[in-house]
Amino acid sequence: MSWLFLAGAIAFEVAATAVLRLSDGGRVRRWIPVVGAGYLVSFGFLSLTLRAGLPVGVAYGVWSAVGVALTALLARAVFGDPLTRTMLAGIVLIAGGVLLVELGAH
C-alpha cells in the first residue's frame, strides 16, 4: 500500500508543478490555488506513505527522483522545454542513486 500512496504523492506533485508553469510564475493567479492544493495533497500522500512503513530515505528519494524525471519529460512534451542528453544522463544518475538508497535500506 505504501507504494500506491507514493505513486499518488508523485502524481500530484508533478501535476502541481506543471500547473505552476501554467501560472507563469504566479502572474496568472487563478492557477495558484490549484498549485497549492496539488502540493498539499502530494504531501498528504507522502505522509501516508511514511505511515504505511516505507523508510523516509527511500520514500523521499523515489518521490523526488521520479518527480524530477516525470516533470522534465512532461515539460518537454507539453511546453517544449529542452531535454538534452546531459539532462537525461542526470536523470539516470538520480535514478541510480535512489536505487542504491533503496538497496541499502534492505
Q: What is the reported pTM?
A: 0.88
pLDDT at residue 32 in the model: 92
Taking only the tens place, the pLDDT of each residue in 6-50 is: 999 999 999 999 999 988 877 888 999 999 999 999 999 999 999
* Residue pointed to by grid coordinates 505513486: 7
What is the Cα–Cα distance from 32 to 73, expressed in whole angstroms?
22
Q: Where are the domains of the chain?
A: 2-104
pLDDT at residue 13 in the model: 97
